[in-house]
Amino acid sequence: MQNSDNAYIPIADGFAPERAGRARLFAESLAAAGPGDVRRALDKDVLNEKDFAVLLSPAAGGELEALARRARDETMRRFGRARQLFAPLYLGNYCTNRCVYCGFHAGSGIKKRSALTPEEIDAEAEALYATGLRRVLILTGDAPKRTGADYIAAAAAVLARRFSSVGIEVPSQSVEDYARITRAGADSMTMFQETYDPELYARLHPAGPKRDFAYRLDAPQRAAAAGMRGVNLGALLGLGDWRGDIFMTGMHALFLQRRFPGLEIGFSLPRIRPAETAGAFRPSPVSDRDFVQALTALRCFMPHACITLSTRESAFMRDKLLPLGVTRLSAGVSTGVGGYARPEPKNNVQFAIDDKRSVSEMAADLEKLGYRPVFSDWLLPGGGDLPLAGALRNAVGATGTGG
């Protein structure tokens, strides 16, 4: 919502009014948590908000094996050995923001900015489709005049001709623009709040449209209201206090789940990676042990949620964490504009990836580890025709049983 001065007014019944109360609950629970509280939380069939905070506490760090067992059991019960594969597709690196940690930001020194044409998007789609993947996630920088809602909707329409699921990870949009992008063929959105600490957020985003903390915070709710089937949340671990950011990510998901019962909720756990043009920014390290605690706590708190682990993590970490909650993995990734159908310019990547396995290599490794790689949308195991995918989604939405 915009007021007469064109300033954003947060959604009155959105997550923002709950955030302060959740922060107090987290601080109180964290300070009081001991090993006995951790064990009692893990013995419950269903965890509440306080239990989740306890599982993120330093005390729970000493009970990591118990967290891992609970997370493993929940993952096997809900997802079995199926693991879904997808690829990100960067459409453009034009950006008007000044995010201090990002390799695409407006002052990063990238010599050549670009955005894919419809013909180039189709060529990228053809190259990705040839790998066997049927899920794609499209990404852009924040440049409304070059890669705004019209551009994103047109790209989604091109990709939806081939892929059973088209997700977007793009700048915050209005309800109307999310609805237009959804009608064009997108069915899910990913939105990293980056950090849920508003003061830190302001320091990390000194200029550009993304500076508006509340507008970004409300974006998943606007997307759900516009008809998006799925919402994927996350914080960029390494920017601030990982415990607080993971807790707020969970609280945000819980809020959306209660508001939109048919919404498919997912999480991503990106740890900040080196970017070629990230300047003098120095992240706050998140250890592997802390990372595992964050992952397992999320899985225990929301056992039905998809959890994505990207190629920011090493092949070793991604393989080892498969039993503990990870259900979706990117594969054969390029973080430059295009990069699948044409050579990737050297200075054109947003961040350095660690796991460089191709789609076929990833699928083969999953099978060796006893998992079943799923290339398509969950609704169409083994593939299927795209008109049927759309019909199924509409039918699920109409009955209110989606998610």
Q: What is the mean pLDDT of residues 236-246?
A: 95
> Residues 266-284: pLDDT tens digits?
999 999 876 544 556 777 8
C-alpha 354/C-alpha 351 separation (Å) is 10
Q: How many angstroms separate the Cα of 228 from the Cα of each of 118, 136, 186, 187?
A: 23, 15, 8, 5
Residue type, 21: G
Q: What is the mean pLDDT of residues 352-358?
A: 87
For position 7, what pLDDT does the model report? Answer: 83
In the predicted model, is pLDDT for residue 6 greater than 80?
A: no
C-alpha 399/C-alpha 393 separation (Å) is 10
Cα end-to-end span (Å), the chain: 27
Phi-psi region of 238 (alpha: psi -120 to 50; beta: other; left: phi over 0): left
Give the H or E element holding residue 188.
Answer: strand 188-194
Cα 198 to chain centroid, rounded? 20
* DSSP sequence for 263-316: PEEEEE-PBP---TT-TT-------HHHHHHHHHHHHHH-TTSEEEE-TTS-HH
For position 5, what pLDDT does the model report? Answer: 56
> Residues 285-301: pLDDT tens digits?
899 999 999 999 999 99
The rounded percent of the chain whose pLDDT value lies above 90 is 77
* DSSP sequence for 107-148: TS--S---B--HHHHHHHHHHHHHTT--EEEEEE-S-HHHHS
> How confident is the prediction for the chain on average, in pLDDT?
88
Tokens of 232: 């994927």
Where do we find the tokens 């922060």? 23
> Could you tell me if 147 and 209 are in contact, meaning their C-beta atoms sit under 8 angstroms apart?
no
> Residues 154-207: pLDDT tens digits?
999 999 999 999 999 999 999 999 999 999 999 999 999 999 999 999 999 999
**Which is more confidently placed, 207 or 346?**
207
> Residues 366-401: pLDDT tens digits?
999 999 999 986 544 333 334 444 444 444 444 343
Burial of 23 (0-12, 13-18, 19+ CB in 10 A): middle
Which domains are delineated in the chain?
Answer: 18-72 (no CATH), 79-377 (3.20.20.70)
Tokens of 223: 């997307």
Query: Under 8 Å CB-to-CB from 14, ≥6 apart: which residues?
Result: 217, 218, 221
Residue type, 200: L
Closest alpha carbon to 35 in 68, 64, 73, 72: 64
Angle between helices 118-130 and 149-160 (to 10 degrees): 40
Q: How many angstroms separate the Cα of 303 from the Cα of each of 13, 78, 139, 325?
A: 26, 7, 27, 8
In the predicted model, is pLDDT for residue 62 greater than 80?
A: yes
Tokens of 146: 């070059």
